[in-house]
Structure 1
Amino acid sequence: MGFYDLSKDERAQLVQKIDSAILKGLKDGDSKTLLPYFEDSDTYIRKAAYLAIGKVYKAKKVAPLKIISVLKSLMESDSEKVRQTTVNAAGEIGKTDFPLVQTFFERELFDVHHSVRNAVIGSIKKMGEKNPQPVLGWAKTYLHHPNKEIRREICHGIELRGRTHPQDILPLLKELQHDPTARVRNTLIHVLGQIAYKKGCLKTVVNELNHWENKELVEKALDEIVDVHHRYKNFAVLSQEEVMVFIDQHYMKRPD
């Protein structure tokens, strides 16, 4: 029976059970206690497990280095689900203390399984939103990595911070405007669109794009910004028509 097949009260009881088991395992330094939850086939069981790690760390119930020791043991698992959950657990810690878990992300950026790499992207998002200075500083070092997938993952990972503080990530995104790989450039365009439809962000994004050199990419990004305001019209602050008017008034068209 899956997590959401349970009643609300049953889910609360299960989370409490997971929290207790995780706490005991961390106190004992025993990764085997955590393993059943970290490798569970149900996404929400695994989520409860990695959130439990964050609760223990935040409450200071177990020494941070002891938690890290258990997570390092779990990271050696052959199971991609275990590694994925471990990355997400590290991300919970990284929201307040990124240097403590930095090595997890340096390693798992290159994991053989896409679900683990996706967990890295998700963790960079949540860490970058809450703890931007060290996370974005670290991310910047990978913007010109030889591996195109690393560049793409970093581009995608810093997106969430940009939705509230676009000025923090736009200088990093600018470095990717001439990326030789279409997949990376397309991710960059996607991220610009995702930022621009959030409250207060459109002006900052358009003003920044006025200073980018890659005219072709900028125009594709502007098209994406207009389109995303239609796709997400129930969530966007401005209508698509208002956005088109704003771009016409504020984007400085340059000659070919």
Structure 2
Amino acid sequence: MPNKTTDKTILKELRAITKDKANWKTAIDDVAAKLGKQYSEDVKAKALWLLGEMGLHYPSHIQPYIKQMADYLRDDNPKLRERSVNALGRIGRTDKTLILPYFDTLMDMRCDTEEAVRLAFVWACENIATNAPEFFCDKLDLFYALISDKGERVRIEAPEMFRVMGKRLPYSVEPYLKKLERFSEHDPHPVVRIHTSGAIRITKKVLEKSKHAANE
């Protein structure tokens, strides 16, 4: 196990790599090496986050390390679970095929005991749904349930999934509009009301456009 001085040095190196985006492609192997068992949880957490961002830009270069990254979905440390979820979301945003083998496990993260992990789950799904909304057509019940999550930050973020889906596949959100209206009008949290209203508005707008185009 590295001592605190070594840890500090490695984290400093990873921060320098984070800022040096022009050389990300050639730095991927070095960053992925920091997922090894000999590194501290802080180092692994930073490496997971950075690999997710690198994967958004260079998904094929990240491919050899995705299984190792996905293994952290089952880690005892909630920070590593959170970072693993985030990373798969970023990679899946660019190349959905790369995260398919881990998709079912990723979906299970909505039930994680830690609020930060459940929040990361919603955020990751929004990322993936941006370019692969078809993955979530039959899963919107899960996000509807999360609007009533015990964690405030999860409740705030969950309606945003309906906004992402409403923009891309509005017909999948249409059956939820009336139920979402209840949240937009009566939820005690103002941001939940705002985000739910936004999701309803964008879905109705895209539905209207789509129906108009069909009638032309």
Tell me if both proteins adopt one fold, taking TM over 0.5 as the criterion.
yes
CA distance 1:18–1:111, shift in 2 (3 Å): farther
| Equivalence for 1:107 | 108
The one of 11, 20, 23 aligned to 2:29: 20
How many residues are treated as equivalent by the alignment? 189
1:176 equivalenced with 2:179 (yes/no): yes
CA distance 1:107–1:8, shift in 2 (3 Å): closer
Name the one with the larger helix percent.
2
Q: SS of the residue aligned with 1:39? A: helix
CA distance 1:168–1:24, shift in 2 (3 Å): farther
Q: SS of the residue aligned with 2:51? A: helix
| Equivalence for 2:45 | 39
Query: Contact 1:143 / 1:175 at 8 angstroms: preserved in 2?
Result: no
1:128 equivalenced with 2:135 (yes/no): no
CA distance 1:144–1:67, shift in 2 (3 Å): closer
Q: Which amino acid letter does the alignment assign opposite residue 72 of structure 2?
A: L
Query: Contact 1:179 / 1:185 at 8 angstroms: preserved in 2?
Result: no
Q: Which amino acid letter does the alignment assign opposite residue 84 of structure 1?
A: E
Identity over aligned residues, as a percent?
13
| Equivalence for 2:162 | 158
CA distance 1:176–1:102, shift in 2 (3 Å): farther
Query: Contact 1:53 / 1:92 at 8 angstroms: preserved in 2?
Result: yes
Query: Contact 2:41 / 2:80 at 8 angstroms: preserved in 1?
Result: yes
Q: Deviations over 1:21-45 (max 9, x none)?
A: 244578xxx56569554424xxxx6
Per-residue deviation, 1:157: 2.5
The one of 195, 198, 206 aligned to 1:193: 198
Instruction: Specify the structure having the higher radius of gyration (Cα).
Output: 1
Q: Distance in 2 between matches of 1:143 and 1:61?
A: 28
For normalisation by structure 2, the TM-score amounts to: 0.61
CA distance 1:118–1:127, shift in 2 (3 Å): same
Q: Which runs of 5+ in 2 are unaligned?
A: 1-7, 210-216
For normalisation by structure 1, the TM-score amounts to: 0.53
Query: Contact 2:85 / 2:121 at 8 angstroms: preserved in 1?
Result: yes
CA distance 1:182–1:71, shift in 2 (3 Å): same
